[in-house]
Structure 1
Amino acid sequence: MNIHDLDTPALLIDVNVLDRNLRKMAQYCNDHRLALRPHIKTHKMPEIARLQLQQGAAGITVAKLGEAEVMADAGIEDILIVYPLWGEKKWARLVDLASRVRVTVAVDSLAVAAGISQAAKTAGTEIGIRAEFDTGFRRCGWPIAASSMDEIQKIIALPGLRWDGILVYPGHIMGNQTIREQDIEREDETMDALFELLGSASIPYPVVSGGNTPAAFASHRFHGLTEIRPGTYVFNDRNTVDAESAEFANCALAVLVTVVSTSVSQRAIIDSGSKTLSADPLLSGDRLGYGYVLGHPEFKLEDLSEEHGHLTIPSGSKINIGDRLRVIPNHACTCINLHDRVFVVEGEHVVDEWKVAARGKVA
């Protein structure tokens, strides 16, 4: 099938760019002796998870238990859940998952750890635990303080749990290269303080897991890291490009769209709005717009309705109803979660079709 045979909007993955992205990250981690445990929240597809494992990933990372169940059903055997799991129903699902695959969970409270411990003990299984610390993103994680060490020691003593080490998420390290240089220095100071506290409390930390996509290729500069969990690197997106962490040539994901209206002066409407591209704002660069039109930097995707993308067209530019364009979304992760399937392309040819199997698995 040719790309031109597809109805639009259609989500495309360039298989050659995807392969280059996977190989580049795998090689980097190998060169710097870092374990790679990619976050599958970006792609949500077992097909890509398998490719990552074939390239040497130590396992995968997921956000939600539902994503973990999809991946386990597909044969993925080593899964880290980086989300605080609360409640009897989730703990029951977690121990069922642990009976099938090696599973580890990030925790940032004694209450969650105790609930998981009781469920694991009752089921006669073991669940890995990593303590999450907040290094500046202020989302989840224990504060880096002596009081936190007391809770960690209590968790290590709980039955049914396997102590694996610690975990951080430097989601606050975004910006551009210059800003990240400063942020990494501050992050290292914070990590050094954490290591000192852990050492003083005689708490072992065989695994130190961190990393994100914008700073992924500087991960060797983060003090103490043994593992990284980037996600967006598989596709890249406009955020990644504007953060100076990739180029548009490294973007494997694009939405194929059609121009459906040119009635308004210096405006063209495409058949993809917030329900196709997602309405996530740009978090880097000039922070303007909702995507990048490949091959037409002069076209600005300035606004989105639910089903309409609003392109501003410079005077004198030629654009017609029926023209097809490719749009790089601001945020690949939220964009892909809006689609049931993706079309895998090589050049102008559609070579495969993959189901977004973990789409909508929010529980």
Structure 2
Amino acid sequence: MTIHDLETPALLIDATVLDRNLRTMAEYCSDHTLALRPHTKTHKIPEIARLQLQHGAAGITVAKLGEAEVMADAGITDILIVYPLWGEKKWKRLTDLASRGRIAVAVDSLVVAAGVAQAAKAAGVEIGIRAEFDTGFHRCGWAITTDAMAELEKIIALPGLRWDGILVYPGHIMGNQNTRERDIEHENKILDALFELLDSASIPYPVVSGGNTPAAFASHRFHRLTEIRPGTYVFNDRNTVEAESAEFNDCALTVLVTVVSTSISGRAILDAGSKTLSADALLSGDRLGYGYILQHPEFKLKELSEEHGHLGIPNHSRIRIGDRLRVVPNHVCTCINLHDRVYLVEGEQVIDEWKVAARGKVA
């Protein structure tokens, strides 16, 4: 079967580019003595998670318990959940997972850690704990204060928990190479302040986990980092390219679409809207448009309806109903979560079909 036999819209993964992206990140981490624990919320596909492990990943990262359960069902046993889990039902699911493998979870409060510890003790399992600190993204994580150190000392003493270390997420480091230099310098000052407080309190930190895709290949410059958790690097997307962390030929995933209407002058309609591409805007650069047309960079995907992509085209362009195009989405993580399956391709040949097994696992 070839891509011409597929109904559109369809997600295509270039097998050669995927393999190159996996190898490049694995080799970088090996060269800089960094553990790689990739964030699988990008792809949500057990087959790709297994490829990452085959390339040397120490384990995987997920955002939600449902994603962890899918990966555990696929035989993956070393999983970090980077999300604060609250409530007895979630703690029960967490302890069930811990009975099947080496599980760790991020926390940023004593009350959550105490709930996890109580559930772990009752179930007779051990759950790893990583303390998350806020270094500038202002989403989750303790503020870097002596009060946080006092809470952390109490958490480390709780039965049922394994103290793994600390975790940060520099999600605010998204700019181009020029601004990234400044951002890394600022991040290191914050990290140094964190390490000073930890050292003063005699709190060990065997693991210092951080990293994101835009700054992934500068991870060795972040102070005392031992592990990184990039996700988007497996596919890359328009955001990654705009952040000068990849080129379009590094984008392994594209959306195959078809032109279905040309009735409006200067515009073509694609059979892919926000329910196919996602409506996420660019995070840097000109922040305009909803995807990049590989065959025609001069075309602009200006608007999205739910099922329609509004493509602005020069009036002299020859584009016809039935023409097929390939779109690099702005944000690949939200795009893939809208699809049941992806097609692995070599050139125009379809060589495999993978289920997006963890899509929709938001609980």
Give the TM bin, normalised by the shorter chain: over 0.9
Q: Secondary structure at the match of 2:91?
A: helix
Runs of 4+ displaced beyond 3 Å: none
- Alpha-carbon deviations, 1:141-190, whole Å to 9, x = none? 00011110000000000000000000000000001111111000000000
Question: How far, CA to CA, are the matches of 1:297 and 1:349 in structure 2?
Answer: 24
Q: How does 1:1-363 map to 2 (within 5 A)?
A: 1-363=1-363
Q: Which amino acid is the alignment partner of residue 113 of structure 1?
A: A
In 2, distance between residues paired with 1:4 and 1:123? 53
Q: Scaled by the length of structure 1, what TM-score is found? A: 1.00
The amino acid of 2:88's aligned partner reads E
Q: Secondary structure at the match of 1:244?
A: coil
Q: Given residue 288 of structure 2, which amino acid in structure 1 is its aligned partner?
A: L
Displacement of 1:295: 2.0
Instruction: Give the structure-2-normalised TM-score.
Output: 1.00
Structure 2 counterpart SS, 1:318: coil
1:315 to partner: Cα distance: 2.2
1:107-148 deviation line (CA, Å, top 9, x unaligned): 000000000000000011100000000000000000011110
| Per-residue deviation, residues 78-103 of structure 1 (Å, max 9, x unmatched) | 00000000000000000000000100
Report the identity percentage.
82
Q: Give the counterpart letter for 1:169 in structure 2.
A: Y
Q: Matched residue pairs, number?
A: 363
Task: Indicate the RMSD between aligned Cα atoms, in angstroms.
Answer: 0.4
Output the CA distance in 1 between the equivalents of 2:271 and 2:136. Answer: 39
Cα distance between partner residues in 2 of 1:141 and 1:270: 41
Could you say what secondary structure the match of 1:357 adopts? coil
Q: Distance in 2 between matches of 1:202 and 1:117?
A: 22
Listed as ranges, the gaps of 5+ residues in structure 1 are: none
Q: CA deviation at 1:289?
A: 0.4
Structure 1 counterpart of 2:355, one-letter code: K
Distance 2:291 2:181 in 1: 26
What code does the residue aligned with 1:190 have?
I
1: CA distance, partners of 2:53 / 2:285: 32
> Shift of the alpha carbon at 1:317?
1.1
